[in-house]
Amino acid sequence: MKTKRRRRPVPSKSYTANQRLYKKLLDQPGGSGDLGRKPERALESDFMRAWGFERARGQAATSIRAMAGRVCEGFDHCTYYHDLDSSDTVIVTQPYARAETLVGKMERALSLGNWLRPQVIAAPEWAFYYPGHATLIILKFPRGYKAAITAISKLWPPF
């Protein structure tokens, strides 16, 4: 049975316009305050809809993030989701770094050999935490990753 592969979403013109508006609010002296909450929530909502994510429930994503954060950098301003198509646990991180420099490091550090590895996707065009300054990286952890990394962490202290 083939799983339907979703095409990589492209931000709409209204999404990029909202990013610019939100960035203007953030760049004002004193930051955006309460005015920024609404555009940020709208951007995140559009991002979730485009990628087929819903907010994660439970602690699986936060515990994966805690363990992964011990072996690799780049986990800043994280949000946690569930992929509606694949049931993968998804962590979205928005660090103040170039996505291209972190993706390779994350792939190497979080791979459990050829056996189990997260899909790491650089998507800076979708940034909603601080568009223009923070980037956006999507990490999709397959089912079983948390159990495997938990078992490894008991045997190998760096995790």
What confidence tens digit (pLDDT) does each residue in 99-117 have? 888 999 999 999 988 788 9
Tokens representing 128 are 């909603």
The predicted model gives 104-132 an average pLDDT of 91
Question: Is residue 124 one of the residues assigned to a domain?
Answer: yes
The Cα-based distances of 4 to 52, 64, 88, 120 in angstroms read: 12, 26, 14, 19
Question: Is residue 46 one of the residues assigned to a domain?
Answer: no
The predicted model gives 151-157 an average pLDDT of 75
Question: Is residue 15 one of the residues assigned to a domain?
Answer: no
Expressed as residue numbers, the domain containing 120 is 54-155
The predicted model gives 59-83 an average pLDDT of 91
Beta bridge partners, 83, equal 53
C-alpha triplet 103, 10, 56: angle, nearest 5°: 65
Helical ranges in 6-144 per DSSP H: 13-27, 37-51, 60-71, 99-110
Higher pLDDT, 159 or 32: 32
Closest by alpha carbon to 135, among 77, 90, 89, 72? 77
Question: Is residue 7 one of the residues assigned to a domain?
Answer: no
Closest by alpha carbon to 22, among 126, 99, 121, 137? 126
Question: Is residue 105 one of the residues assigned to a domain?
Answer: yes
The CA-based diameter of the chain, rounded to the nearest angstrom, is 55
Given a cut of 60, is residue 158 above it in pLDDT?
Answer: no
pLDDT of residue 50: 97
Question: Is residue 32 one of the residues assigned to a domain?
Answer: no
Residue 157 backbone dihedrals phi, psi, to 5 degrees: -55, -30
pLDDT tens digits, residue range 49-62? 999 999 998 888 99
The pLDDT confidence band at residue 152, using thresholds 50, 70 and 90, is confident
Question: Is residue 6 one of the residues assigned to a domain?
Answer: no
Question: Is residue 41 one of the residues assigned to a domain?
Answer: no
Given a cut of 50, is residue 1 above it in pLDDT?
Answer: no
Give me the number of domains the chain comprises: 1
pLDDT of residue 6: 67
